[in-house]
Structure formats: C-alpha cells, structure tokens
Chain A
Amino acid sequence: MLMPLSPPPVVDILRFNTCGSVDDGKSTLIGRLLYDSKSLMEDQLEALERSADLTGGGQINLANLTDGLRAEREQGITIDVAYRYFATARRRFIIADAPGHVQYTRNMVTGASTANLSIVLVDARAGVGEQSRRHTAIASLLRIPHLVVAVNKMDLVGWSEDRFREIRAQFEEFLPRLGMRDVQFIPLSALGGDNVVAPSPHTPWYAGPTLLSHLEDVHIGSDWNLHDFRLPVQWVNRPHHPGDARLHDFRGFSGQIAGGVVRRGQTVLALPGGIRTTVQEIHTYDGAVEEAFCPQSVTLVLAHDLDVSRGSMLVSPDRLPGGGTSLHAKICWMHPRALQPGRKFLLKHTTNTVQAVVTGIEHRLDIASLEPQPAPAGLTLNDLGEIRLRTARPVFYDGYGTNRLTGSFILIDPGTHETVAAGLLHPPTEAVRPEDTDYAI
C-alpha cells in the first residue's frame, strides 16, 4: 500500500481583480478563463447559446457570462463588480471583475482592495491610456503585491512582437515610480483564447507562462501581519445566563484578529484606557485554544473587568500602534461632489466609527505624470490624493504598508450615509503613549 509522504497541501485562495478601459475585453477574458478551464456548466453554456441566437447573430458572447445585469447587456459594458469563482487542482480563485468606465473607478477600488493580484488589460491597438495608468496606480496604492499586464487583442495587430514590446516599454516608463516589483507581461487574445489557458501558436517569440499557469504558480506569501497583535473589539459576549454559574460571569471580547498572534496568559493593553491585563482564555465555539492568529475570529476573556466595548482595541504592549486625533492619509475620493477642506464625515476604522473633519488637502495625484499636484479645487470623483484629518476621539492605527486592516478607513457622509472615500493611513510618527490616555476604570 502506498503511504502519503506528507499531508495534502493546503488548498489556498488567490483573489484577483481585472481592470481596463471599456472594450478592452475584461469580461471576455474571464469568460475565456472559465470556459477553457472547464469551469462553465452546461446550462450556463446553453443560456449563452440562447442569448447568442437572440442578440448575437449566432456568435457566443463570453462577456454575457459576467455582465449579469440587463443594463450591462444592453450597453455592452460592465457596471458593477462581478465576483466569479473557479478552482483548479492547485488553487481556488475569486475573481473581482471591475468595470472599466471611469465613472465606476470606485467599484474597481472595491474589487481591488482584497486582491492578491491585479490584471490590467490593455488593448494592443490602443496602447497605454489614462485608464491603464489609473488602474496601475490604484493597484500600487492598495499595495497589491502582484501585477499582470495582459496585452489583449494581439490578433488585431498581427501578433506583432514589436507592438508588444512597445506597450511593455510604455508601462516600464512609469512602473518604477509606482514601486511595483512583480509585474508579468502576457500577450494574448481573450476572444481566441491564445495564452489564456493554452499557449498560443501565434506567439513563438513569447517564452513566458500562460495567464492561468501564472495565476496557479504566483507565490502569495501571507498577506497578513503576524507580528503586531491587534484585536479590534466587535462585540461584547455576555451571556447573562441566570441558571449557569459559569456563564453568569462570562464576559468575552469578540473580534477578528487584525494582526499578530495572541497566546493564553499573555499581557495585552486595552485601548483607549491603556490598562494592562492578561488573556485568561481564548474562547472559540470549538473549544478554548492556547493561541490564535490573524485573521482568525475569536473571543478573549481577560483577567480584569475593564471598560472595553465595540471600537476598543486590544494590542500587544511591546508593539504599540500609533494613536491620536491627527491623521495623514492617501485617499481615493468616490463621490461626484468634490471634497473640500472643512467637511465633516464619519470615519470608520476597524470596528470604531468616529467623527472626523478634513483639515487639509495636501495634493492630488496627476494620473498622466503620476506626480503630486496642488488641488485648489479639492478632490473630484475618482481622484487619488493626500489629506489631513482631525478626529473627535483618538484612533489607534498602523501604517497601511504595515497592516492593511489597521491602516485603512472609509469616510461616510453623515447626511446621505454614502461611502465617499477609501483611506490609507501613513505610518504613525510616534507610538501611542498609554500613560497619556484617559484612565477609565
């Protein structure tokens, strides 16, 4: 009998997003990935064939697979982020298909914020446009570790290696400024399936991987911060159980660990308040555990009865976050009404929502040059820029580069309740000093 040499490898998840201009063929590319990797089901194909007979003159339109809304099929564009799922023997994949049209850039940010990898599509005929730059800049801003530049519609430029190199050179001109390190260029035709799943006979000059084999192989080391323990408290777990003595006194703090590792018996600091205590129990539904790590969801029972509630954060006293009411951040502005200094918002950071006022706009990023520019008119829809904020209560945070979960926030309009901005915090200039925070016991 054959014995397995090692336990089966953990099947991991690669999340990626696709972006490009209108008509670059994103939806077609995803349709092709699903079709050629045999991830499409017969009834989906039949539905495609039916709609092909009705509207496509008999030609199957792979874009109809992802363009699920009526308005999208009518206008032939993607309006919102569509999520697709497929699996190979190696990996599970979650695709966020983000719209290309400039007015939907906020949806691209939505799709990209959780991605490990970003695919930027370029029409080989058109070359690098403002949208390609914007999308690459957003991928860089969000610190997506891997980038694929898919040069699509190569069939329409006669599979010209020169054209491919030209586009590559256009990208390489601005990539260094964005600090993108892992970039893979792939010449392909989504419509014909060349270099998507199977290597193309038309590109003998290209020695690199197909898109799918790159997606399967790319190394996605842990995106999670495993160094600085952070637990934003989501919910206080108090059973109030009159009949059960043990449950009567149970008081746990539930949340998803946003950084680091926590062990039973460890000292933690509760913010705000700054009181030290020890972790008495790490409770889970499946029993108490000795340690837990990011991004697990747990409930901590502490040795002391502290004033801790939703919005508080439990942290490692040796690796303190920054804290304060003055924040400095990059943002993507997502609302048609321009952002002007002085406007007030609700700022949601981890599980903590506080009032905030924008005290200044430092600059906006010029997409053409990727250089900062003055922003006398404020930030307009889809602008990337840098701002300063003051909050009504202290926020405890890390730089976005150190921890995506404790370094990010959204701004909510207090009147309309719309989400109007995504923010990425600069590293704190100094760690929180617990002795300065209010004691409340």
Chain B
Amino acid sequence: MSGYQLDHLQHLETEAIHLMRECAGEFERPALLFSGGKDSICLLRLAEKAFRPSELPLPLLNVDTGHHFPELNEFRDRRAAQLGARLIVRRVEDAIAQGLAVPAPGEISRNRLQIPTLLAAIEEFRFDCCIGGARRDEEKARAKERFFSFRDRFGQWDPKNQRPEIWNLYNGRLHGGENMRVFPLSNWTELDIWEYIGRERLEVPSIYFSHRRACVRRGGQWLPVSELAPPRPSEEVRELSVRVRTIGDIISTGMLESPATSVGDIIAEVAAARVTERGSRADDRASEAAMEDRKKAGYF
C-alpha cells in the first residue's frame, strides 16, 4: 500500500477547494455568502486555502434579516476585517423600505423576506455566482441539489430540470441575468463541520458554546427571550445553560440545553445526537415542503 491516502476530511477539503477554484475560473463576478455561522466559517477557510497568498477574489455577502443574534453579526464583521475581505451587507429592513420585500399582514418572520433581498443584491452587484455553505444532509430538498445549482432569471430552482453533474466537471455556462449557486460543502455532514473546525482551530461565535440564557418553552422548544421575542403572559421564563446547534433568526431558533464548552464537547454531542440539526428550526418545520418552496422562489 502506498502512503498516498487522504482521510475523509482531507477528501472533502480537496473537493471543496476544487469547487471554489472552478467558481473563480468560470464566473465573472462570484460572491461568497458569509453569515458567521459554522458552515460559512468553514467555507471561508476553504476560500483561504483555495486562493492564498492572493486576496480573496470575491466579496463576502450577507443578508441581514434584522433578527440576527447580535453575537453573530459581531463575529461576521470581525472575521471579515481579519481577512481583509470586502463584506457587503444588505438588510431586509431596507428592502422593505424600498418596497423590494413586502411583508404579508401580520408576518413577523423575516425568513421569506430574505429572498427578495438576496435577489436584489445579486442584481445590484450583477453577481453571476453565489457560493453558499448549504449541506445536503441538512434537509431533504437540499439532498437533491447539485454542487452547481442553476437559477433562472427569477432566481428560481427547478428541481426537475437540473444539469447532470458528472465526475468533477461542472457546467458554469450562463445567459445574462441567470445565476449559479455553488455549494462546496454539499457532501459534508454536521459532524464533518465540527471535526474540521477542530482540526483547523477555527474560531466560532460564542453562542455555539454553552451559556446562561433566559428562555421560554414554545412549540416544543426553548426559544431565547429577546426584545424581538418577549415572553407571552402565560409563559414562564427559565434561565438555562444552552447553546445553539444551528443559527436562524433569534425569534425562531430553538436553544439546546447543553453543557458543551469546547469544540471537542460539541463533536461528542453531535456524534451522539438523536435529533437532526434542523429539528430546532421552526422555519423548516412549517410544512413537509417548506424548504423546497423557499428554494424554488430563490432561497439559498
């Protein structure tokens, strides 16, 4: 046996670097979607691995719903500055003010409103490619998505008409106004992400680790109490040791009771978990096809 063998993380890494460089090679104006969450933190390290010692040949883009955890935005800004990367933030709030995004009567969630905000940013900067940190193991509509996910002029995904993707040959050809979403982490699982964060010694926002937080029990999960989501009169506020497993908006992200204070603790916790990561996201539990519908409309 030769010693020329890669372990599973090295395999996933070289596959992702290859995808990153294909984006730089095939597209005129790529961008990298960076939220400060654990997946996009890995994505950013992979971009460094793909392009250093050059500057990153693409800006970072984030759609700020206005309902982000403050720890997340602080981390996002600091990390982008550390890397000397250009960070573009487009706010749902502004998109609503400009009439680009229109909330339905009584609609509190910003989840759906991210879509027109993102599409407007793509149009504003004429991005032809957005690299995202989505993984196929997250959700079953994602499980059907290609590495190079083609979007038409309206930003729509057509799952019945995806381009065949054979070997590592990606077809990045576009007509004007069309767009590609590229997902280098497609084959990564939640466990791979944490093992990679551990191996690369990557910093993550503090809310991934156990901390004390006021929560209320709602819809079968612990929701954080915040100005945006105050407790209802009937609800009892409990101070718990919790962490986030996946980060959505502060009004819909379930907190996980956990003593995990290190990446090692989290790896052990994820390996033993009996519930999926997205089980704590109210936005995905809305219906059997919630994610599919959002993706068809132009979601990440």
A interface residue numbers (CB < 8 A to B) = 10-13, 41-44, 47, 51, 65-66, 68-71, 73, 79-85, 87, 92, 94, 106-107, 109-110, 113-114, 222, 224, 226, 234-235, 237-241, 247, 250, 254-256, 261, 283-286, 293-297, 310, 334, 346, 348-351, 404-405, 408-410, 412, 417-419, 422
Contact = CB atoms under 8 A, between A and B. Distances in A.
Given A222-B5, A297-B17, A405 B292 contact: no
Nearest to A81: B144
Given A41-B275, A422-B164, A70 B171 contact: no
Contacts of B279: 41-43
Contacts of A255: 21
A84 B276 contact: no
B288 interface: yes
Contacts of A409: 169
B189 A85 contact: yes
Interface string B137-162: 10111011000000000000001101
A272 to B, nearest CB: 18
Contacts of B51: 235, 237, 254
Nearest to B143: A82
A82 B140 contact: yes
B140 A66 contact: yes
Contacts of B171: 348, 410, 412, 417, 419
Interface residues of B, number: 58
A94 B164 CA distance: 18
Contact of B275 (A42, A283, A310): A42
Interface stretch (B52-60, B61-69, B101-109): B52-60
Interface in B171-222: 171, 173-175, 186-187, 189, 191
Interface in B55-90: 55
A12 B8 contact: yes
A351 B168 CA distance: 10
Contacts of B49: 284-286, 297
Interface string B87-131: 000000000000000000000000000000000000000000000
B136 interface: yes
B289 interface: yes
B238 interface: no
A241 B165 CA distance: 37
Contact of B168 (A42, A239, A250, A405): A405
Contact of A256 (B4, B17, B24): B17
Tell me if A's interface is mostly helix, strand, loop or mixed: mixed
Contacts of B141: 68-69
Given A110-B164, A222-B4, 14 more contacts: A41-B273, A83-B186, A109-B166, A222-B2, A234-B22, A234-B25, A237-B53, A237-B54, A239-B54, A247-B53, A334-B164, A418-B163, A419-B164, A419-B165
Contacts of B140: 65-66, 68, 82
B281 to A, nearest CB: 10
30 contacts: A10-B8, A47-B288, A68-B139, A68-B292, A69-B159, A69-B289, A73-B288, A79-B160, A82-B140, A85-B136, A87-B189, A87-B191, A94-B187, A110-B165, A113-B167, A222-B4, A235-B24, A237-B51, A256-B168, A286-B49, A293-B4, A295-B6, A295-B11, A297-B18, A310-B25, A334-B164, A350-B169, A410-B169, A419-B166, A422-B164
A293 B162 CA distance: 32
B7 interface: yes
Contacts of A81: 144
Contact of A85 (B48, B137, B174): B137
Nearest to B18: A256
B50 interface: yes
Nearest to A65: B140
B258 interface: no
B160 A80 contact: yes
B18 A234 contact: yes
A417 B175 contact: yes
Contacts of A224: 4
A285 to B, nearest CB: 4
Contacts of B289: 69-70
B274 interface: yes
Given A12-B7, A44-B276, A79 B53 contact: no
Contacts of A83: 136, 143-144, 186-187
A202 B95 CA distance: 63
Contacts of A10: 5, 7-8
B241 interface: no
Given A12-B7, A85-B189, A234 B21 contact: yes
